Amino acid sequence: MTMNKLSKPIVIDLMRQAKEACEQILEAAIRELSLAKSKGDERNIKSFAHDVEEMKCIIKIANAVIRDLEARKISHCTPILVHETAKLIRRRMHMVAAKRSLNNLVIARFEEADKLMNL
């Protein structure tokens, strides 16, 4: 299984789009967390604090994959890297409450990248 040379820039772009959406979700979660703290809403404080931590982790993963794809020559393990990342992100995004519409966008971008790797 190898990555098509033409699909590499597209896959990197999809990953960047997903990362940008993650950053928007992180910003929204931080705002919601601040609002919950100002109201003293313990349940939402825990929920949005969790979202903030999840999004930071997902952004780190996305950045690492993007850096790896940019630096790496096309190899047989590249599609596996993207596929496993897409699976991990899909699982983690379902646990994030903030900005549900963007969550679906993030998942869709990683899944598109995964499909492109296997053409």
- pLDDT tens across 18-43, in order? 888 889 889 988 998 999 999 999 98
Report d(CA 18, CA 109) in Å as an integer.
Answer: 6
Average pLDDT over residues 96-118: 76
Report d(CA 28, CA 106) in Å as an integer.
Answer: 15
Q: Which amino acid is at 35?
A: L
User: Is 34 inside any structural domain?
Assistant: yes
User: Is 1 inside any structural domain?
Assistant: no
Query: What is the domain count for the chain?
Result: 1
CATH number of the domain within which 104 lies: 1.20.1270
Q: Which domain holds residue 14?
A: 7-117
Q: Is the pTM of this model over 0.75?
A: yes
User: Is 43 inside any structural domain?
Assistant: yes
